Structure formats: structure tokens, C-alpha cells
């Protein structure tokens, strides 16, 4: 069927209208035919680069022929547009280019290219990246300064705490030595003085050891540890101190779903032992202390539960702070050391307490190796 004069004019009118639309756009637009030649360039692109209609695309833009092959054959005839970024060799400016297929009436497929000059945007991005790097460096510098300040503050806190804690046993030791210097004490009095010296020296050594442990945290050496054995060893340590354990009922229960777990056995035993000592001091020789392990959503939960008097609500937020203690003669470092050990394993510790009904400490340890349930 032949197209009449009117139909031909309609096509020309639509073509002219489309050309006018493309010429009015600020982005550069050009169409490349199957023969790699530029069929059309809008006015914005001609204004920037000159008229390249009829010329080979890669020659006009200063690229090699392979770029044309990639453009023509690197996308399907019905595929989505491809976004590229390239630099025009002649000007050094950076462009973002969108390429999409055009199905011509005669069946051939051309390529529509839309160019957007992003040179300024790239320059701003580079400046922003440079500023970001500068800002990161400043933040690191500030963070290091704050860490140094915190270390100095902590050192001052440790020094003050250490001086406070060792003053009493040192005073007792000095008094005992002065009494011995006078001489002529009865044997019973000398025996009491030596017992005082031994007790206060042991007490002083314990306090210094706690301070050193807190000031020099150790990195955990992870190994697969049998959880049942760990809980049993902790309870054995607790039971060995008859004066502290008294008549307290000691119990343990391990979840069979997590027979082993990656942890530093010595450090975790120390943490659990500290929590047990804390519980026994609250129980004062009566009641029950229970250790449990549970496999919870891929993590190991260790529980230290007692039915003692509980922790006053107003004290809950302070119990993990270093040098904070409700017990006469305590250093206030036991729970702080416990928390550091657990956090060094990537875990966390929390506490719930109901005054008059008991306290439960919860340790949640992530799986840092193979799942414990697969190791047993």
C-alpha cells in the first residue's frame, strides 16, 4: 500500500516535530546507524562538538573502533538502556552516556545516545571524597585524643582506687611491725600479730592482683570447651571455699544442644567464678546458687542464678562500674573484670534482680567458630 501525499507530509511533520524536541534539549543526543555512522546530532551536541552527521562515530568522538562494536553488539535489541561513563579525549570533559536501541521502520536497529556533561559533578564528587578523607582523618585524630584522655582519666581512677584500697592493709601491717619492734610480747600476742600480718599481706596481694587484671585485660584464646565440664569446675571452685559457700545449695544444668562452645576456658571460668562469688556473698551461707547453659538462637547463654536478697533498684546501673562496691572490703573490680572478659569474647552480660527474690546474671556468647551443637 502506497502512502499518499498527505500521509507523507504527516510523517515529515512528525519527524520535524521530533527533531525540534531533540534540538530543544540541553543534553547532547545523537543516533548511530547500523553502519556506525552518525545519522543525527541535536543542536546542543553540535554546539559543543561540531556537526558530525554522516561521519563514523568512533572517528568523530576520538575512540577506537572496538568501542563501536561494544555499543552495537553489547546489548540486545530489546534490552534496557546501558549507562556508561567516558571522557572525551578532545576536551577532557567527563560524560555520562545512556545508550538504547531504536527500531527503524525498515527493520534496522539504530542506537540512541544521550550525553550528559558530568564534569562539574565529578569534580564536586572528587572534592567531596577528598573532604570526606580529611574529615575521617580529623575524626580519627579526635578519637585518639579522646582515647588518650580516657586512658589518663582511667589511670588516675585506678591510682586513686589502688591508693584507697591498699591504705588499710598497709596500715595494719605497719602497726603489726611496730608492735614486734617493741618486743617482749607474750607468745599468744605475737601469734595474733603474725596472723594479722599474714592476713593483711594476703589481702593486699589479692587487691593488687585484681587491679593488675583490670588494668591489663587479656585477649581470649578460643578453643572448643565442653560446657558441662566448665560449669562443674566453677562449682567445684566455689564449693572449695567452705566459709563462703556455707550451706548454699549448688546446682548446674547444661543444654545438650550446645555440648561445646568456642571460648577461652580459663578466662570464662574466671568470669563465672567472679559472678558466683558475688552471689555467695549476697546469700551469706544459705539459699541456692545455680549455673545453667542454654542454646538460644545460635548463641550460648550462661546463667548465674541465686535466690538471695537481690540488688536494690537504684544500684543496678552502677554494679558494673569499676571501683563501685556495696561490700565492705571489696575493690569493686570483680564485675568489671567479668564484663571485660565477656566483651572480649564478643559477648555481653546483663543482670535482672527482684529485691527479696534473687538475682540472675546472663552471659550471651556468639558463635565465633563452628556451632557448638555441631561439635558434640
The whole-number pLDDT of residue 373 equals 44
Q: Where is pLDDT greater, at 28 or 157? A: 28
Distance (Å, rounded) from C-alpha 44 to C-alpha 30? Answer: 10
**Contact status, residue 260 vs residue 225, Cβ threshold 8 Å:** yes
Same domain, 91 and 158: no
233 and 363 housed in the same domain:
yes
Closest CA to 264 of 207, 316, 224, 234: 224
pLDDT value, residue 288: 94
Final residue in a domain of this structure, among 62, 95, 117: 117
Least confidently predicted of 200-209, 286-295, 298-307, 321-330: 321-330
Per the structure, the count of domains in the chain is 3
Does residue 236 sit in the same domain as residue 344? yes
| Statement to judge: residues 205 and 243 lie in one domain | no
Residues 96, 137: Cα–Cα separation, whole Å? 31
CATH number assigned to the domain comprising residue 61: 3.30.450.20
In a shared domain, residues 367 and 300: yes
Rounded CA-CA distance 153/280 in Å is 32
Report the alpha-carbon distance of residue 156 to residue 174 in Å, rounded.
26
Same domain, 362 and 230: yes
Q: Which range has the worst mean pLDDT, 33-42, 99-108, 240-249, 367-376? A: 367-376
Do the beta carbons of residue 52 and residue 41 sit within 8 Å?
yes
Same-domain check for residues 237 and 134: no
Residues 361 and 319 in one domain: yes
C-alpha cell at 182: 617493741
| Average pLDDT in the chain | 81
Q: Could you list the residue range(s) of the whole structural domain that residue 145 is in?
A: 123-215
Handedness of CA 220, 225, 231, 235 (dihedral sign): negative
Does residue 206 sit in the same domain as residue 228?
no
Positive or negative, the CA dihedral 65, 69, 74, 80 is positive
This model's pTM is above 0.75: no
Would you say residue 63 has pLDDT above 90? Answer: no
CA separation, residue 117 to residues 44, 72, 123, 152 (Å): 11, 22, 12, 54
Q: Which residues contact 359 (CB under 8 A, 6 or more apart)?
A: 279, 282, 305, 306, 308, 310, 311, 351, 352, 353
In the predicted structure, residue 370 carries a pLDDT above the cut 70: no
CA–CA separation, 203 and 330 (whole Å): 10
Give strand pairing partners of 162.
none
Report whether pLDDT(127) > 50.
yes
Q: How confident is the model at residue 360 (pLDDT cuts 50, 70, 90)?
A: very high
Q: Are residues 255 and 311 in the same domain?
A: yes
CATH code of the domain in which 154 resides: 1.10.287.130
Q: What are the tens digits of pLDDT across the range 170-218? A: 888 888 888 888 877 788 888 888 888 888 888 777 777 767 666 666 7
Domain end among 76, 99, 117: 117
Q: Given 154, 187, 215, which residue is the final one in a domain?
A: 215
Q: How confident is the model at residue 228 (pLDDT cuts 50, 70, 90)?
A: very high
pLDDT range class, residue 374, cuts 50, 70, 90: very low
Percent of the chain with pLDDT over 90: 21
Same domain, 236 and 365: yes
**Cα 303 from Cα 174, distance rounded (Å):** 43
Residues 105 and 10 in one domain: yes
Amino acid at each position: 500500500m502506497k502512502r499518499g501525499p498527505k500521509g507523507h507530509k504527516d510523517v515529515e511533520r512528525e519527524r520535524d516535530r521530533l527533531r525540534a524536541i531533540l534540538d530543544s534539549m540541553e543534553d547532547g543526543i545523537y543516533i548511530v546507524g547500523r553502519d556506525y555512522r552518525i545519522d543525527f546530532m541535536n543542536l546542543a551536541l553540535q554546539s559543543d562538538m561540531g556537526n558530525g552527521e554522516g561521519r563514523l562515530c568512533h572517528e568523530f568522538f576520538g575512540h577506537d573502533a572496538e568501542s563501536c562494536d561494544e555499543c552495537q553488539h553489547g546489548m540486545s535489541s530489546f534490552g534496557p538502556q546501558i549507562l556508561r561513563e567516558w571522557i572525551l579525549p578532545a576536551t577532557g570533559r567527563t560524560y555520562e552516556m545512556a545508550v538504547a536501541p531504536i527500531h527503524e521502520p525498515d527493520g534496522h536497529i539504530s542506537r540512541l545516545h544521550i550525553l550528559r556533561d558530568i564534569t562539574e559533578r565529578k569534580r564536586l564528587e572528587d572534592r567531596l571524597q577528598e573532604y570526606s578523607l580529611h574529615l575521617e582523618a580529623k575524626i580519627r585524630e579526635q578519637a585518639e585524643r579522646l582515647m588518650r584522655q580516657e586512658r589518663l582519666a582511667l589511670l588516675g581512677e585506678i591510682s586513686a582506687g589502688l591508693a584507697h584500697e591498699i591504705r588499710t592493709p598497709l596500715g595494719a601491717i605497719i602497726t603489726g611491725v611496730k608492735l614486734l619492734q617493741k618486743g617482749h610480747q607474750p607468745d599468744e600476742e605475737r601469734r595474733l600479730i603474725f596472723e594479722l600480718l599474714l592476713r593483711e599481706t594476703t589481702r593486699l596481694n589479692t587487691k593488687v592482683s585484681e587491679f593488675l587484671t583490670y588494668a591489663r585485660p587479656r585477649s581470649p584464646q578460643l578453643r572448643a570447651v565442653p560446657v558441662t565440664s566448665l560449669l562443674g569446675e566453677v562449682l567445684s571452685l566455689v564449693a572449695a571455699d567452705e566459709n563462703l559457700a556455707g550451706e548454699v545449695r549448688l546446682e548446674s544444668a547444661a543444654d545438650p544442644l550446645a555440648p561445646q562452645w568456642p571460648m577461652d576456658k580459663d578466662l570464662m571460668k574466671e568470669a563465672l567464678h567472679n559472678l558466683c562469688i558475688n552471689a555467695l556473698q549476697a546469700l551469706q551461707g544459705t539459699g541456692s546458687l545455680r549455673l545453667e547453659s542454654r542454646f538460644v538462637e545460635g548463641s550460648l547463654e550462661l546463667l548465674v542464678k541465686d535466690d538471695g536478697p537481690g540488688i536494690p533498684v537504684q544500684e543496678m546501673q552502677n554494679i558494673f562500674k569499676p571501683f563501685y562496691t556495696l561490700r565492705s572490703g571489696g575493690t569493686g573490680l570483680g564485675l568489671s573484670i567479668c564484663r571485660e572478659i565477656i566483651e572480649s569474647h564478643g559477648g555481653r552480660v546483663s543482670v535482672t534482680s527482684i529485691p527479696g527474690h534473687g538475682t540472675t546474671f546472663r552471659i550471651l556468647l556468639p558463635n565465633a567458630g563452628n556451632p557448638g551443637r555441631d561439635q558434640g
